[in-house]
Structure 1
Amino acid sequence: MRLTTLRTPDGTRAARVDGEVAVEIDAPDVGALLADPAWRARADAADGPRHDLAAADLAPLVPRPAKILCVGLNYRTHILEMGRELPEHPTLFAKFPEALVGPHDEIALDPQSQAVDWEAELAVVVGAPVRRATEAEAEAAIAGFAVLNDVTMRDWQYRTLQWLQGKTFEATTPFGPQLVTPDELPGGVRPALALTCAVDGETVQSANTSDLVFDPVALVGYVSRILTLGPGDVIATGTPGGVGHARTPARYLTDGAVLTTAIDGLGEQRNTARAVVAAGV
């Protein structure tokens, strides 16, 4: 099953994706749909208005998740090529919903930052409440997967040892276009999918999600030992090598740059970076 969140004249609506058509579901967005324990049956039975997917205005897949947890340093090959040891535990930080934009929306280049970087990532979307999950419970709690780009203000991220301040600038993080359930993907809840990121048509990141040190099931289990995960919560699983900050010279997003993020089976984002004019800056 594939799900998305549409913007319509009457507000956002969850929709089931049938090929090139999006069929509205009686729910305001995918997050609200997942709050219903019967979300699969409800989505499958939906027969609302239909939209041409290619022309649809897509909102962030889950517009306002209660929690957005992110993971750093989680691609095995990238860690080893940097000469580091594989981590014993996941490195966690957070984002807030104000950071999210749709898969084709503009990315805001805030004038406060001169070092805006890209991070293509696989996102896990939680579909059921889970706390201190066993492996089986963690598997069952995964509703599906989506594309996310953890766009990062590097000059703010590295001001201190805590990364939050560089990770959650407003209107910077594309999320979508679709949630795809594990049964449709090779590897299921541990998907093996090619991931790429391009800037102005040049591929800058290329990896496979099977290279994650901590896979989606392990991450749901780990995070659920800290707090209760609920329907619509998001875990961004980390990015591979190829980010702009690690290049010599460093490379960052500029006004008008087009960022394309794609994961096989999950779809593609295409976002233009735009400089924000802010009063008093």
Structure 2
Amino acid sequence: MPAREAPTVRQRRLGGELRKLRERAGLSATEAGALTGLGQSRVSNIEVARIGVSADRVRTLARAYGCADAAFVEALAVMAAGGKRGWWEDYREKLLPGLLDLAEMEQNATAIRTAQVSHLPGLLQTADYARLTFLQNVPEPSPPHVEHLVSHRIKRQEVLYRKSPVPYTAIIHEAALRMEFGGHSLTRKQLEHILAMSERERITVLVIPFSAGIFPGAGQTVTYAEGQVPQLDTVQLDTEHGAVFEYADARLDMYRTFMERFEAMALGEAASRDFIHGIVNNL
């Protein structure tokens, strides 16, 4: 099997989880290689996602490591078997890898929650609104690159429209709703789109008003994607330097608490829709 040049976050995650299982079993890579017949080099290359691993081999490794959590092992096997080429691969030469990893994360999530303070959720943006936000990047992207970014963002939204849409909860601070990017007309159309999306199956939009007071976190966008089992949850953070992915156990625990606290501050669904309607009516 040829070595990978640029493993995805999902592939690196699978390798990292297999490494953790090996280490919990108290085995070195050399010992694991001898026990499984793979050899130290192959075990190490699997763990750093330099080479792929089949679902059956994942199960074999888990048995060798004494993992008794059947649901977790099967979730890892699904990750190994899910290596089919996704639509995002069409953008590999055009966009940064973090954007492709984000699309893959969303595609494989069993549920998604996002916390937004100063921006509106990408999965709920119109093409015009997305285009305007990308034009604010520094340095300013070329027109063709802007269109690649916009089309990628719109294609990501397929997870909300497919036959079995992913359950999606967007918790949006009032500050983001009142940012009049592009003026009254564009903002109105964008907020009306969010209202329409909030009526769709499995989509929940919640608003945190200014009156709720201080909120947890530093104000950056947080997206929490649930995996097949809680151990395989993933957090994605927006930064000035691109997407950052977190999945260490302690970090997942921290962001679970963060999302619970952020959501607890929000208005209910009906009150949130009324709140957004009020903003639209005043534009």
Length-normalised TM-score, structure 1 = 0.28
Choose between structure 1 and 2: higher strand proportion. Answer: 1
Greater Cα radius of gyration, structure 1 or 2 = 2
Length-normalised TM-score, structure 2 = 0.28
